[in-house]
Structure 1
Amino acid sequence: MPDSSLPSARTALHGTESQEVTPRFQTEYADLAFNVTNRMELGGNWTRFQPCDEQFKVSCNANLVPQLNPDIRFGVQLDGTILDRIRVDVDFDQAREFDAANRINISYEGTEGDILQRLDVGDVTFGLPASRFLTEGIPAGNFGFQADGQLGGLDFQAVWAQQRGDLNSRVFQLTGLGDQRAYVQEDTLVLDDADYVRGQFFFLVDPQEIEDYPYVDALALDLSSVSPGTTPGIEPVQLYRFEDEPAFQQQVEGFIQADAVAEKDGERVVESGWFRYLQPGLDYFVHPSGLWIALRSSLRRDEMLAVTYVTALGDTVGDYNPERLHNVGGRPTLKLLKASGANHQPGRPTWDLEMHQVY
């Protein structure tokens, strides 16, 4: 049964149309019209890792209970008076995109002869008398307190409020000579060191063999930065990207079945499967030093990258021209630059081959 002490919605009929009246709370002390809305959305998802790696304690199967993400939105509209002195005007909704669209106004009206004539709480506007000495506009829409009063023949107004916004300052410096003079602005950008560009920039050689490691300026590298036995020679670098649809790849030129290998500190990682040849200048470019490459499109976490080249001393890294070996039934070997998933982690053989300083 409904509670008789609570106000209920009423319907007023006007001819053939009906209009719903806002619920009201009426007593000898207050007369308030109010409307409260609440919306809750509950979503969930299951996560499954494939392939599963027991070394990192990753579950192969989704949990029985999904990960729930509740979303609760609350709104209230309140309008009326309390004790004939306090006026309430509230229109608040969490679903609104801009906070400035919400309105909260509570005001108190004093009687004649009171020192405090009016007190506003919520969105207040500080009004000043017209004056030729004020050349800037007074900010409106502030949130805080405002009081108006009278003490004898003295009228006073006080306000304490806060306005939300962004404060920016810019400094320009004139530099240069003659017709080359221009304004220069210095700016600062704050970046998280973990927000580097992933899966796009890779060293072809072990960066620990580069001069001045670990303080490596990739753009300033040249052929003398590493020993000739490591530097790629004049023969073009051959780069391959892993593909996972063997039924399709057997019919397309440029696909080979190979083993990509990376070794470091006694640890060996092997990624086997079908690899697609990447076109230089189209899919990637090689830095003039020949020590690193940049892909046109980034690799996903589960994708692999491999390479083969001939060093300046004539030694081969991987099986150069691996298509020849593949076409006669052999299985070529490539140098693995990026492993997949959990195999590409800090401390693993391919981790240092990916650049982590490009933003």
Structure 2
Amino acid sequence: MSFPRILLYGTIILFGAMGSFALIKRLKGSREAIEQAAEISQDEKERELLKQVAALPKTPVASFTEIKIAPPAPLEPVEEEDFPACNRMQQLFSTGPHKLPIVETITYTSNVPWLKGRPAWLADYSNYYNTSCHFIARSLNKKLDYFSQKVFPGSKFNVFSKDKKIQFYLLLDLSRRKMGLYYIDLDTNERVLLKTYLVGAGKLDEKRLSGSLTPLGKFSLANKIAVYKPGDIGFFQEKRVEMIQVFGTRWIPFKEELEGTTGRAKGFGIHGAPWLKDKETEGYLENRDCIGKYDSGGCIRLLQEDVEELASIVMTKPAVIEIVRNFRTARLPGVEKGEPQHK
């Protein structure tokens, strides 16, 4: 190859390399310029965002410890429809023609086919018909007498029908301090309101879900019911007391929690109004003024005649109590039958 040609090729290669180098440098500079522009743009965005935040109004933000959960609304008298009023006790205890279908009238005789070897007494009728002696005595005596059991051949009294499978259901409306006693016919799924009672309830406590010392929910009732009279001594809150001064004449304890309860069953129940010492006569007076008020330690209080009546009915049958703030929210079993019969 001649020298001029070599010189020509070398010149071409040299200028080509210089051009490539210049192009690479130019591209690198463009990329750096783009990255720098992006950084400047990002910085401008951050500065703009900080300006916007700084322009926001200075409102304090509550800390975790400052956030408070509102307590449940206090229990107050309600203006809406009242708890249904009813009293069907006459149909339950009377031996007349207008009895309720869950009872039947028995004519007393000491000779019965279901007992061999000895005469039958009222206690035997009580066991056979699964009806308390107190219930039979009330029907037999035709008055509020739950103890006298003097019977003669031909004496008539009511018992619960053996062919009826029933349970009793109590619904307590804390806002109204009223409690309904229902019977549920488990075979027909019918529900009948027997009586509405005015009650005393637990003291108001806005920290409780119920608004009261009385818990909400469904509880079963125990069938071991205590009967008290003046002079009966027992222990209450680790102190020896005359029981009638705390529980009145009857004590129906809660047995166990069933559904939606806000408290334990233990320690709660239904009992009579406390009896107070009369300083003048040294006898006792029932504190009837506590009924219809929030005044107890959580138990449900009834007048003497009401708690004795209730105890005689639920003593030998399964019974449940549902406690609600408003009876409209209750979930009663069965289908309502018949219109309430007023006093």
- What TM-score do the two structures reach when normalised by structure 1? 0.22
Greater length-normalized contact order (CA 8 Å, ≥ 6 residues apart) = 2
Greater Rg, structure 1 or structure 2?
A: 2
- What TM-score do the two structures reach when normalised by structure 2? 0.23
Structure holding more helix per residue:
2
